[in-house]
Structure 1
Amino acid sequence: MSLRLSSRRARRLAPSLAALLVAALSLPTVVRAQSGDARFAGLALSQGDIFTNDVGTVIGVSVTNSTAATVGSVGVSCSFTVKGKAAGSASTTIYNIVAGATGQDQVHLMGPRADAASCAMTSIGKPLD
Protein backbone atom coordinates (compact mmCIF):
# COMPACT_ATOMS: atom_id res chain seq x y z
CA MET A 1 0.00 0.00 0.00
CA SER A 2 1.42 3.35 -0.98
CA LEU A 3 0.48 6.69 0.53
CA ARG A 4 0.52 9.52 -1.95
CA LEU A 5 -0.43 13.11 -1.39
CA SER A 6 -1.37 15.51 -4.10
CA SER A 7 1.05 18.40 -4.39
CA ARG A 8 -1.73 20.79 -3.34
CA ARG A 9 -2.45 18.78 -0.19
CA ALA A 10 1.28 18.41 0.56
CA ARG A 11 1.70 22.21 0.37
CA ARG A 12 -1.21 22.67 2.79
CA LEU A 13 0.23 20.13 5.25
CA ALA A 14 3.82 21.39 5.13
CA PRO A 15 3.32 24.40 7.45
CA SER A 16 1.42 22.24 9.96
CA LEU A 17 4.10 19.57 9.95
CA ALA A 18 6.84 22.18 10.31
CA ALA A 19 5.05 23.77 13.28
CA LEU A 20 4.60 20.36 14.90
CA LEU A 21 8.29 19.55 14.46
CA VAL A 22 9.39 22.89 15.93
CA ALA A 23 7.05 22.39 18.91
CA ALA A 24 8.33 18.86 19.53
CA LEU A 25 11.98 19.92 19.35
CA SER A 26 11.45 22.77 21.81
CA LEU A 27 10.12 20.50 24.58
CA PRO A 28 12.67 19.59 27.24
CA THR A 29 13.90 16.04 26.98
CA VAL A 30 13.70 14.01 30.18
CA VAL A 31 16.16 11.16 30.44
CA ARG A 32 15.42 8.58 33.11
CA ALA A 33 18.17 6.50 34.68
CA GLN A 34 18.82 3.40 32.64
CA SER A 35 17.35 0.26 34.12
CA GLY A 36 19.92 -1.75 36.01
CA ASP A 37 22.01 1.30 37.01
CA ALA A 38 21.00 1.73 40.63
CA ARG A 39 23.42 4.65 41.12
CA PHE A 40 20.94 7.02 39.50
CA ALA A 41 17.71 5.67 41.03
CA GLY A 42 15.47 8.58 41.96
CA LEU A 43 17.29 11.05 39.69
CA ALA A 44 15.92 12.42 36.41
CA LEU A 45 18.01 14.30 33.85
CA SER A 46 16.34 16.92 31.66
CA GLN A 47 17.87 18.56 28.61
CA GLY A 48 16.82 22.12 27.91
CA ASP A 49 17.32 24.43 24.98
CA ILE A 50 20.40 24.18 22.79
CA PHE A 51 21.86 27.32 21.26
CA THR A 52 25.04 28.58 19.64
CA ASN A 53 27.08 31.67 20.37
CA ASP A 54 30.42 33.12 19.27
CA VAL A 55 32.28 30.52 21.32
CA GLY A 56 30.42 27.33 20.35
CA THR A 57 27.32 25.49 21.54
CA VAL A 58 25.49 25.54 24.88
CA ILE A 59 22.77 23.25 26.25
CA GLY A 60 20.93 23.60 29.55
CA VAL A 61 20.72 20.50 31.75
CA SER A 62 19.01 19.82 35.06
CA VAL A 63 18.84 16.90 37.46
CA THR A 64 15.80 16.41 39.67
CA ASN A 65 16.42 14.56 42.93
CA SER A 66 13.32 12.68 44.05
CA THR A 67 15.17 10.72 46.75
CA ALA A 68 15.04 11.46 50.48
CA ALA A 69 18.71 12.48 50.69
CA THR A 70 20.97 15.21 49.34
CA VAL A 71 23.09 14.12 46.38
CA GLY A 72 26.61 15.56 46.62
CA SER A 73 27.23 15.76 42.87
CA VAL A 74 26.04 14.40 39.54
CA GLY A 75 28.27 14.36 36.47
CA VAL A 76 26.48 15.02 33.17
CA SER A 77 28.15 14.42 29.81
CA CYS A 78 26.73 15.48 26.43
CA SER A 79 27.62 14.34 22.92
CA PHE A 80 26.97 17.04 20.32
CA THR A 81 26.20 16.54 16.63
CA VAL A 82 25.97 18.69 13.52
CA LYS A 83 23.52 17.34 10.93
CA GLY A 84 23.76 13.91 12.55
CA LYS A 85 27.58 13.76 12.58
CA ALA A 86 29.62 13.83 15.78
CA ALA A 87 30.91 17.31 16.63
CA GLY A 88 32.39 16.73 20.09
CA SER A 89 31.52 16.20 23.72
CA ALA A 90 31.58 18.20 26.92
CA SER A 91 30.45 17.75 30.49
CA THR A 92 29.60 19.47 33.74
CA THR A 93 29.04 18.58 37.38
CA ILE A 94 25.97 19.73 39.31
CA TYR A 95 26.64 19.94 43.06
CA ASN A 96 24.52 19.54 46.21
CA ILE A 97 21.08 18.64 44.91
CA VAL A 98 18.86 18.64 47.99
CA ALA A 99 16.11 16.03 48.35
CA GLY A 100 13.10 17.05 46.27
CA ALA A 101 15.00 19.82 44.47
CA THR A 102 16.41 20.32 40.99
CA GLY A 103 19.99 21.33 40.24
CA GLN A 104 20.83 22.93 36.92
CA ASP A 105 23.78 24.04 34.83
CA GLN A 106 24.89 24.46 31.23
CA VAL A 107 27.20 22.28 29.15
CA HIS A 108 29.47 24.28 26.83
CA LEU A 109 31.05 22.79 23.71
CA MET A 110 33.84 25.11 22.62
CA GLY A 111 34.20 25.58 18.85
CA PRO A 112 31.63 23.70 16.79
CA ARG A 113 28.12 25.04 16.35
CA ALA A 114 26.11 21.88 16.95
CA ASP A 115 22.41 21.45 16.23
CA ALA A 116 21.66 18.54 18.62
CA ALA A 117 22.95 16.93 21.79
CA SER A 118 22.40 13.74 23.73
CA CYS A 119 23.20 13.88 27.44
CA ALA A 120 23.55 11.28 30.18
CA MET A 121 24.36 11.14 33.88
CA THR A 122 27.84 9.68 34.23
CA SER A 123 28.78 9.90 37.91
CA ILE A 124 27.36 10.55 41.34
CA GLY A 125 29.07 11.73 44.51
CA LYS A 126 28.12 11.68 48.18
CA PRO A 127 27.54 14.95 50.02
CA LEU A 128 30.40 16.28 52.11
CA ASP A 129 30.06 15.67 55.84
Structure 2
Amino acid sequence: MFKATTHGITVSVTPTFLEAQSDPDGGRWVWAYTIAIENGGEDTVQLRSRHWRITDARGHVEEVRGPGVVGEQPLLPPGDSFTYTSGCPLPTPSGFMEGAYRMERQDGTSFEVAVPAFSLDLPAETRVLN
Protein backbone atom coordinates (compact mmCIF):
# COMPACT_ATOMS: atom_id res chain seq x y z
CA MET A 1 0.00 0.00 0.00
CA PHE A 2 1.13 3.56 -0.77
CA LYS A 3 0.06 6.39 1.55
CA ALA A 4 0.31 10.19 1.83
CA THR A 5 -1.27 12.75 4.18
CA THR A 6 -1.90 16.39 3.23
CA HIS A 7 -3.80 18.88 5.42
CA GLY A 8 -5.13 16.00 7.54
CA ILE A 9 -6.46 14.07 4.53
CA THR A 10 -4.85 10.63 4.13
CA VAL A 11 -4.89 8.95 0.73
CA SER A 12 -3.99 5.23 0.62
CA VAL A 13 -3.59 3.33 -2.66
CA THR A 14 -3.48 -0.41 -3.31
CA PRO A 15 -2.80 -1.40 -6.96
CA THR A 16 -3.70 -4.83 -8.39
CA PHE A 17 -2.67 -6.30 -11.75
CA LEU A 18 -5.68 -7.54 -13.77
CA GLU A 19 -4.30 -10.45 -15.73
CA ALA A 20 -7.69 -11.44 -17.16
CA GLN A 21 -8.18 -7.99 -18.72
CA SER A 22 -4.61 -7.71 -19.99
CA ASP A 23 -3.31 -8.75 -23.41
CA PRO A 24 0.51 -8.76 -23.36
CA ASP A 25 0.67 -10.02 -26.98
CA GLY A 26 -1.48 -7.03 -27.97
CA GLY A 27 0.59 -4.60 -25.90
CA ARG A 28 -1.99 -3.98 -23.16
CA TRP A 29 -1.51 -4.41 -19.40
CA VAL A 30 -4.33 -3.40 -17.02
CA TRP A 31 -4.33 -2.54 -13.33
CA ALA A 32 -7.05 -1.75 -10.83
CA TYR A 33 -6.28 0.55 -7.95
CA THR A 34 -8.30 0.97 -4.79
CA ILE A 35 -8.07 4.33 -3.07
CA ALA A 36 -9.19 5.16 0.46
CA ILE A 37 -9.52 8.86 1.34
CA GLU A 38 -9.75 9.53 5.08
CA ASN A 39 -10.57 12.91 6.58
CA GLY A 40 -8.44 13.26 9.72
CA GLY A 41 -8.89 17.04 9.70
CA GLU A 42 -11.33 19.30 11.54
CA ASP A 43 -13.30 20.55 8.51
CA THR A 44 -15.88 18.86 6.32
CA VAL A 45 -14.44 18.69 2.80
CA GLN A 46 -15.69 17.70 -0.63
CA LEU A 47 -13.55 16.15 -3.35
CA ARG A 48 -14.15 18.37 -6.39
CA SER A 49 -11.61 17.24 -8.99
CA ARG A 50 -8.69 14.95 -9.79
CA HIS A 51 -5.43 15.29 -11.68
CA TRP A 52 -3.42 12.19 -12.64
CA ARG A 53 0.04 11.83 -14.17
CA ILE A 54 0.40 8.32 -15.60
CA THR A 55 3.89 7.30 -16.72
CA ASP A 56 4.60 4.09 -18.65
CA ALA A 57 7.91 2.18 -18.77
CA ARG A 58 9.01 4.15 -21.84
CA GLY A 59 8.67 7.42 -19.93
CA HIS A 60 5.56 8.56 -21.83
CA VAL A 61 3.40 10.71 -19.53
CA GLU A 62 -0.37 11.05 -19.89
CA GLU A 63 -2.22 13.63 -17.81
CA VAL A 64 -5.88 13.18 -16.90
CA ARG A 65 -8.03 15.86 -15.27
CA GLY A 66 -11.70 15.81 -14.43
CA PRO A 67 -14.43 16.37 -11.90
CA GLY A 68 -14.66 14.05 -8.89
CA VAL A 69 -13.75 10.37 -8.94
CA VAL A 70 -15.75 7.48 -10.48
CA GLY A 71 -18.60 9.90 -11.16
CA GLU A 72 -18.82 11.12 -7.57
CA GLN A 73 -17.76 14.17 -5.56
CA PRO A 74 -17.82 12.68 -2.07
CA LEU A 75 -18.49 14.85 0.99
CA LEU A 76 -16.24 13.86 3.91
CA PRO A 77 -17.05 15.12 7.41
CA PRO A 78 -14.20 14.86 9.97
CA GLY A 79 -13.46 11.20 10.72
CA ASP A 80 -15.26 9.95 7.60
CA SER A 81 -13.73 8.11 4.64
CA PHE A 82 -14.50 7.23 1.03
CA THR A 83 -13.15 4.23 -0.86
CA TYR A 84 -13.35 3.56 -4.57
CA THR A 85 -11.75 1.36 -7.23
CA SER A 86 -10.79 2.42 -10.73
CA GLY A 87 -8.47 1.14 -13.44
CA CYS A 88 -5.58 2.02 -15.70
CA PRO A 89 -4.42 0.34 -18.92
CA LEU A 90 -0.80 0.74 -20.02
CA PRO A 91 1.02 -0.09 -23.27
CA THR A 92 3.98 -1.42 -21.21
CA PRO A 93 4.23 -4.07 -18.46
CA SER A 94 5.03 -1.46 -15.80
CA GLY A 95 4.64 2.19 -14.95
CA PHE A 96 3.44 4.41 -12.17
CA MET A 97 0.75 6.93 -11.32
CA GLU A 98 0.65 9.97 -9.07
CA GLY A 99 -1.65 12.90 -8.74
CA ALA A 100 -3.75 15.20 -6.63
CA TYR A 101 -7.31 15.88 -5.58
CA ARG A 102 -8.76 19.36 -5.20
CA MET A 103 -10.76 19.46 -2.01
CA GLU A 104 -13.17 22.22 -1.01
CA ARG A 105 -14.14 23.25 2.52
CA GLN A 106 -17.71 24.31 3.32
CA ASP A 107 -16.57 27.98 3.41
CA GLY A 108 -15.61 27.67 -0.28
CA THR A 109 -11.82 27.61 0.17
CA SER A 110 -10.00 24.82 -1.60
CA PHE A 111 -6.68 23.01 -1.32
CA GLU A 112 -4.75 20.23 -3.06
CA VAL A 113 -4.30 16.78 -1.52
CA ALA A 114 -1.43 14.63 -2.81
CA VAL A 115 -2.09 11.15 -4.16
CA PRO A 116 1.18 9.27 -3.55
CA ALA A 117 3.11 7.87 -6.48
CA PHE A 118 2.32 4.17 -6.80
CA SER A 119 3.85 1.40 -8.89
CA LEU A 120 2.04 -0.52 -11.58
CA ASP A 121 4.25 -3.61 -11.84
CA LEU A 122 3.53 -7.23 -12.67
CA PRO A 123 3.14 -9.39 -9.55
CA ALA A 124 6.24 -11.46 -10.41
CA GLU A 125 8.32 -8.29 -10.74
CA THR A 126 10.05 -6.41 -7.94
CA ARG A 127 7.89 -3.45 -6.89
CA VAL A 128 9.79 -0.25 -7.43
CA LEU A 129 8.75 3.19 -8.60
CA ASN A 130 10.07 3.56 -12.15
TM-score grouping bracket, smaller chain normalisation: 0.5 to 0.7
Post-superposition offset of 1:47: 1.6
The 2-side partners of 1:65 and 1:114 are apart by 34
Change (3 A) 1:32 1:118: farther
2:51 counterpart letter in structure 1: S
After superposition, residues 38-117 of structure 1 pair within 5 angstroms as 41-52=7-18, 53-54=21-22, 56-83=30-57, 85-86=59-60, 88-90=62-64, 92-93=68-69, 94-109=73-88, 112=91, 115-117=94-96
Greater relative contact order structure (CA < 8 Å, 6+ sep): 2
Post-superposition offset of 1:113: 5.7
Post-superposition offset of 1:95: 0.8
Post-superposition offset of 1:45: 1.6
Q: How far does the alpha carbon of each residue in 1:14-36 deviate from its partner, in whole angstroms, 9 at most, with x for none?
A: xxxxxxxxxxxxxx111232xxx
Change (3 A) 1:115 1:43: same
How many residues of Structure 1 are paired with residues of Structure 2 in the alignment?
Answer: 94
The 1-side partners of 2:11 and 2:48 are apart by 10
TM-score normalised over the length of structure 2: 0.52
Whichever structure has more strand as a proportion of its residues is: 2
Structure whose alpha-carbon radius of gyration is higher: 1
Post-superposition offset of 1:60: 1.9
The 1-side partners of 2:34 and 2:58 are apart by 20
Which runs of structure 1 show a deviation greater than 6 angstroms over 4 or more consecutive aligned residues?
A: none
Post-superposition offset of 1:74: 4.9
Post-superposition offset of 1:97: 1.8
What is the percent sequence identity of the aligned residues?
10
Number of the residue aligned with 2:100: 121
The 2-side partners of 1:107 and 1:77 are apart by 14
RMSD: 3.2
1:115 counterpart letter in structure 2: S
Whichever structure has more helix as a proportion of its residues is: 1
Change (3 A) 1:32 1:86: farther
The DSSP-based 3-state class of the residue aligned with 1:62 is strand
